[in-house]
Structure 1
Amino acid sequence: MKEKRFELMKQYILDHSHVSLKELEEEFNVSMNTIRRDVNKILKDSRFEKVYGGVSVKEGTLVDFEYRNIENKEDKKAIAQKAASYIEAEDLIYIDSGTTTKYILDYVDENIPLTIITNSLDVVLKAEKLRKANIFLIGHIFKKPTRSFVGLENDELSVKYNITKAFMAATAVSINSGLMNSDIMEYEIKRQVIDKAGKIFLLADETKFDHSTLLTYADLSDVDLLITNKKFTDPYSSYFAEHNIDVLHSI
């Protein structure tokens, strides 16, 4: 049981990039002393590092993205397929980097005319099959851990591009903290997209909810449509109704 919890804890940290000790205590329902002992053991793995109040995946740890790409793969594909159904001819879409958003173009008609803006290497590679798509890659610094490009010139997105629909990812989601990620350079891209896009689609599987990470790039109320495999009760159900957020379940 201890070894299983230990492995699950490592996988949880890899999936969320940064977690607090308090979050681990609540997630695994064990004492803080037990969490501290497990974390001390986890820190012997070179992929992890201790930060104030918690533990993070080290910058440059490619395993992080590779693991997240495999975890819940079928759930992520189902969510992406639902999202793809909202893409229409002549749309100007932004597809965020992420282990769910990367699958969207697998379900898009290869003859549909549209414009794709992205900072994701995987999205660009998949866009090759689309015969009538215009593709704009943003960001001039490549991050191997997330297979994404970061780094914008001032308000580059806000000034240069129109976006009718944005398909967004998040490392963590909650009512209080909104849509979160842990990288300041990706944060800037996401923030500008939220400000620019006509309609915001959030793709988030059930593992992303009620966790915290370093940066909030948007309020949950900014979302127009949430596509997820999570079943909600209050306070989420009431929040969605109050803020006119549609929820589409992938299962």
Structure 2
Amino acid sequence: MLANIQRRNDIVNLIFKLGSVKVTDLAEKYGVNEATIRRDLKYLSQNHKITLTYGGAFIEKNTTCYSIVEINLANKRMMHFDEKQVIARKAAALIKDGETIALNAGSTVEYILDYLENITQLNVVTLCLHVAAKAARLPYVTVYMPGGKLRNSSGVFYGNGTEKFLKKFSVDKCFFGVAAINLKKGIMHPVLEEIENNRIMLDISEQKYLVADYSKYDCVSLASLTDLEEFTGFIVDDKFPDVYKEFAKLNDIQII
């Protein structure tokens, strides 16, 4: 029974990521007969948004996927402003007094600092000069920011010194802004130089929260940064796509 449950979970994750699967391929992969796989797919079609076909199954995805390039921060702040405010409020509500949080870069994570309540002491680890400057204006916040080379367009520091600095910390919660989210490729980022530091920020964090409005889903960018399964929770607006809702539930990811 447990083997059946695990196999079905694996199969539905494959469908989410690949878009479609074949009965013959799955039977060979899991070492079972095709009738067993057909029963699995029938069960999944009844419990998830999956469509059966002759010889397999597929899931309909948004076809408006496009490539995300780096956008100037001033322009980012104006895009999907209302949704970002909703997400920032929800993120701020998760922060407890005395915690150490990590904020990478981007307008949504920056807005989180506007909604902190009942906080008397907070440590903020950030890669971003803009986030650090805003956090430093709050009297109860202690800011930790690495050195290294600064990218003027994003306000983000990167380089070997930055990586070593980040690895010193133990972070309670990371609030992670992103450029593009894709079921198949995971979290994607438009700047190759910034990927390693973002990766380390996730590694040092106990809980990891994705903060992204609906426009970031079903998009692609230059390079993959991490898998969606790594996150503790998705903090979303009310336009959160259904297929990602299904994916989150399947992988025990909290939807906030």
Is the structural similarity TM-score above 0.5? yes
Q: Does the aligned pair in 1 maintain the 2:68–2:190 contact within 8 Å? A: no
Equivalent in 222, 236, 245 of residue 253 of structure 2: 245
Give the partner amino acid of 2:240.
K
1:27 maps to what in 2? 64
Give the partner amino acid of 2:214.
E
2:156 maps to what in 1? 148
In 2: Cα distance, 1:184 partner to 1:238 partner: 30
Task: Confirm or deny that 1:186 pairs with 2:194.
Answer: yes
Question: Structure 1 residues 157, 195: closer, same or farther in 2, change over 3 A?
Answer: farther
Q: Which 5+ residue runs of structure 1 have no aligned equivalent?
A: 1-25, 30-53, 58-62
In 2: Cα distance, 1:193 partner to 1:163 partner: 9
| Post-superposition offset of 1:28 | 9.3
1:212 maps to what in 2? 220
Task: Confirm or deny that 1:232 pairs with 2:230.
Answer: no
Per-residue displacement from partner, 1:172-204 (whole Å, max 9, x unpaired)? 001111111111221111111111110001100
- 1:149-168 aligned at under 5 Å gives the runs 149-153=157-161, 155-157=163-165, 159-168=167-176
CA RMSD in angstroms, aligned pairs only: 2.3
Q: Does the aligned pair in 1 maintain the 2:76–2:106 contact within 8 Å? A: no
Aligned residues: 193
1:18 maps to what in 2? none
Task: Confirm or deny that 1:109 pairs with 2:117.
Answer: yes
| Post-superposition offset of 1:90 | 1.4
In 1: Cα distance, 2:141 partner to 2:248 partner: 34
Q: Which moved more, 1:107-116 or 1:218-227?
A: 107-116
TM-score by length of 2: 0.69
Equivalent in 72, 89, 92 of residue 97 of structure 2: 89
Q: Which moved more, 1:122-131 or 1:91-100?
A: 122-131
What percentage of residue pairs aligned between the two structures are identical? 24
Give the partner amino acid of 1:27.
T
Question: Structure 1 residues 86, 100: closer, same or farther in 2, change over 3 A?
Answer: same
Q: Does the aligned pair in 1 maintain the 2:231–2:253 contact within 8 Å? A: yes
1:125 maps to what in 2? 133
TM-score by length of 1: 0.70
In 2: Cα distance, 1:175 partner to 1:55 partner: 15
| Post-superposition offset of 1:130 | 2.3
Per-residue displacement from partner, 1:178-231 (whole Å, max 9, x unpaired)? 111111221111111111110001100010001111122111001111111133
Per-residue displacement from partner, 1:83-121 (whole Å, max 9, x unpaired)? 011111111110110121111111113852121100112
In 1: Cα distance, 2:65 partner to 2:161 partner: 42
In 1: Cα distance, 2:144 partner to 2:250 partner: 36
Give the partner amino acid of 2:97.
A
Q: Which moved more, 1:95-104 or 1:141-150?
A: 141-150
